[in-house]
Amino acid sequence: MIYLRLIAESFRFAWQALRANLLRTILSLLGVTIGIFAIISVFTLVDSLERNVRDSMSFIGDKVLYVQKWPWSFGGEYPWWKYFNRPEANVHEFRLLDRNLTNDAGVAIFANKGRNLFKYRNNNFRDAGLIGVSYDYNKVAEVPVAEGRYFIPQEVDAARNVMIIGDEVANTLYPGQPAIGQELRVSGHKFTVIGVIERQGESLFGMPNFDQVGIIPYATFSKMYATGPNGIGSTLAIKGREEDPGLQELEYEVRGMMRNIRGLKPRDEDSFAINRPEMASQAVTGLFQVIGLAGWVIGGFAILVGGFGIANIMFVSVKERTNIIGIQKSLGAKNYFILFQFLFESVFLSVIGGGIGILLVFLLTLIPQDMMKISLSAGNIILGLGVSAVIGMLSGIIPAVLASNLDPVIAIRSK
């Protein structure tokens, strides 16, 4: 009970000090408020950016290996001349991998062409993406069909002219009417719409999504456009199993099988690239770590100033209450009681400043955003309050120790 009384009394003293010297307290806490606001606002923005970027990249799938001619690169020199003469992935390789791999959860081949014109009567949709996919494409990438259905094996094998379209395409070509069962034309070919993909929303940084695409069977795509060495390049996508989280076993198996299919000798370099979505994720994470570090630096200076402000308040508070400290000690108060009393007061004042900074960040998240949704996470709230408490403890420890070591006789005689 004595500790509960100590905490309650410390809060009461802190509140009284806050009310008695309101302007001084506000100015002193301003540094902590600005510092916590800077740190938490940057972290909130970084978390929201990273979440939206990863959501925008969901179309490339999770736990998937991509076998392609060109390796992915995120900065630095790109030796394109080393990869220029590599062969493109083809249907023969796709079928061999699909038939012989043992550590996969699905194999698909796909190719895409940008800037297509979709037509339905007098309605046009320009710059649409067209993707030709094998049947298992929905196993390696997320294709959330909101209306209609996905392909059936017979449609893919027979190269039928059926298409799954994005939400924006559907709303543009068929405003106010259902898109399922309707027809559209692409490059003189007539297609029947069998599905509409769930709306993805505007993607961050202009990254592609499924709102502006049409998906057709790969064999149908190959009839319309040349694929292979002199045409549109294809990509093999292999989904990993849940029990192989690092995809190491799958990658070893895919690399060995592709080298065997292409007849590479042991000393020959790979004539293909195995790309992983983690490469893009790591590049995004590295970028946001730099931004987060900048937030710590900017906010750290403000918090440092705020810490000195709180320490100043506590030194003044000890000076003003020296007589009261002497009376408390003469009545039997222990040194730790006085120490904790001022230490709790310092932490309480610092947490108030941090709480105001977090409140300002929360108010900013309420502003509507078109590009992305910004939200304040519980982790960032806890981080802000935790940093505030630590700053309060560090700022108040020296004044609290000085107060606890005062001689009661000298303290009572002070004015």
| Together in a domain, 129 and 202 | yes
How big is the CA angle at 300 (ends 294 and 303), to the nearest 5 degrees? 145
Per-residue pLDDT, 206: 44
Residues 286 and 278: their CA atoms lie apart, in Å, by 12
Strands 104-120 and 183-186: antiparallel
| Together in a domain, 309 and 387 | yes
At which residue do the structure tokens 């292999």 appear?
238
| Together in a domain, 255 and 389 | no
- How does pLDDT run across 135-189, given as a tens digit for each residue? 999 988 888 899 999 999 999 999 999 999 999 999 999 998 999 999 999 999 9
| Together in a domain, 299 and 228 | no
Strands 213-217 and 145-148: unpaired
Longest dimension (CA), the chain: 101
Q: Indicate the burial class of 3 (C-beta count within 10 angstroms; 0-12, 13-18, 19 or more).
A: exposed
Within a domain: 68: no
Q: At 376, list the tokens.
A: 């304040």
Which of 227, 244, 271 is where one domain is finished? 271
- Across 342-366, average pLDDT: 86
Per-residue pLDDT, 173: 95
Within a domain: 73: no
Per-residue pLDDT, 56: 59
Residues 396 and 340: their CA atoms lie apart, in Å, by 10
Residue 57 has pLDDT above 60, yes or no: no
| Together in a domain, 247 and 313 | no
Which of 243, 271, 299 is where one domain is finished? 271
- Across 221-232, average pLDDT: 87
Residue 226 has pLDDT above 60, yes or no: yes
Per-residue pLDDT, 277: 74
Residues 131 and 116: their CA atoms lie apart, in Å, by 11
Is the Cβ–Cβ distance between 342 and 316 less than 8 Å?
no
Residue 412 has pLDDT above 50, yes or no: yes
Q: At 263, list the tokens.
A: 């007849």
Domains: count for the chain: 2
Report the mean per-residue pLDDT for the chain: 83
- Across 229-250, average pLDDT: 86
Q: How far is CA 379 from CA 215, 326, 349, 387, 391, in A?
A: 39, 42, 21, 12, 18
The domain of 215 spans 87-271
Residues 192 and 182: their CA atoms lie apart, in Å, by 6
Strands 189-197 and 183-186: antiparallel
Per-residue pLDDT, 282: 63
| Together in a domain, 257 and 313 | no
Residues 311 and 315: their CA atoms lie apart, in Å, by 6
Q: At 359, list the tokens.
A: 């409140």
DSSP letter assigned to residue 60:
G
| Together in a domain, 206 and 154 | yes
- Partnered with residue 273 across adjacent β-strands are 68
Structure-model confidence comparison of residues 210 and 413, the more confident one = 210
Lowest-confidence pick of 185-189, 257-261, 276-280, 373-377: 276-280
- How does pLDDT run across 378-409, given as a tens digit for each residue? 888 998 899 888 988 888 888 888 888 888 77
- The confidence band for 346, taking pLDDT boundaries of 50, 70 and 90, is confident
Q: Indicate the burial class of 26 (C-beta count within 10 angstroms; 0-12, 13-18, 19 or more).
A: middle
| Together in a domain, 51 and 146 | no
Per-residue pLDDT, 178: 92
Which of 237, 271, 305 is where one domain is finished? 271
Structure-model confidence comparison of residues 285 and 306, the more confident one = 306
Residues 367 and 145: their CA atoms lie apart, in Å, by 31
Lowest-confidence pick of 34-38, 43-47, 331-335, 396-400: 331-335
Is the Cβ–Cβ distance between 109 and 237 less than 8 Å?
yes
Give the three-class secondary structure for 271: coil
- How does pLDDT run across 68-96, given as a tens digit for each residue? 998 887 666 788 888 888 999 999 999 99
Where residue 360 falls (left for φ over 0; alpha for ψ -120 to 50; beta otherwise) is alpha
Within a domain: 126: yes
Residues 296 and 201: their CA atoms lie apart, in Å, by 32
Closest CA to 394 of 348, 347, 338: 347
Q: At 164, list the tokens.
A: 């799954």
Residues 64 and 281: their CA atoms lie apart, in Å, by 13
Residues 105 and 92: their CA atoms lie apart, in Å, by 19
Within a domain: 159: yes
Within a domain: 139: yes
- The confidence band for 366, taking pLDDT boundaries of 50, 70 and 90, is confident
